Structure 1
Amino acid sequence: TGDGHRPRRAGVSSFGVSGTNAHVILEEAPVRPASHATADSPAPAVVPWVLAGGSTAALRAQAARLLGAVADLPPADVGFSLATTRTALDHRAVVVGASREALVEGLSAVAEGRSAAGVVEGVAVEPGRVAFVFPGQGSQWQGMALELLD
């Protein structure tokens, strides 16, 4: 906190040309313990482990590397770290389990390219068409994209 007693706050106003006005008050986040879990926190019933790779082969390799690194780590901590510190690449898998054994079995399935209970795989980005967007009220942009459409 700024003075040690109260959180810092700031007001921000934005006045748009088209008449849209936006106002927000930002406040400093409360101080949290270093760990996301406390001794009082109950263990979650089900834990997701989120994986991503630039290709299917990279996803499988990521799962295989993770298998060797999770032996002594709490499953919830592994899930938290995977969800908050990893890049979300196109090829993705989620392993969901209620026990370490279930999570490791699902992770093994991803590494080996086989299906298993609690495992979902997919591709986040499918090739598509490009869209051109012209912001504004509209009347000043009339006909602007006709050449692009052709």
Structure 2
Amino acid sequence: MSEITFHKATLDDVDAYLAIEQKVIHLRMYSGISDREEAREDFATNEVYLIKKDGVVIGSTEYQIQEGGIVYMSGLVIDPDFQGLGIARKAIEFRLSLVGDAKRMYVVTHPHNSKVIGMYLSYGFMIESWKDDYYGDGEPRLILVFDRSK
């Protein structure tokens, strides 16, 4: 049976991280990390975990703890060859296990990313707003939130 594991990434993992990003960065729905400097910045500001299947890196997931108990679920990337196997759902559950007591959590995703939107809605997230050109790539994004403070 295949095993999915999560490993805290370090700067030594930048190449593996970028290799996964490169597999999906061309997609219109994803504004990803494209170079080593940007990856290093991402590692400095986020808690980044590599997702491994049987020891092979097949994705990454990350979050950022912000002021006031707010958590930005900042990244979730699965190698296209491994999508549709429930790995993204496991990654969401993993992140929630680490930050589940946060007062407010949010994720930003493309409005056409229906699979991701559906997954987050199933965990109690709600669509809060639509933002045009959120990442400066000309594409709109939805902000989904899970808010315990209300």
TM-score band (shorter)?
Answer: under 0.3
Of Structure 1 and Structure 2, the greater strand share is in 2
Q: TM-score, normalised by structure 1?
A: 0.26
TM-score using structure 2 length: 0.26
Higher helix share: 2
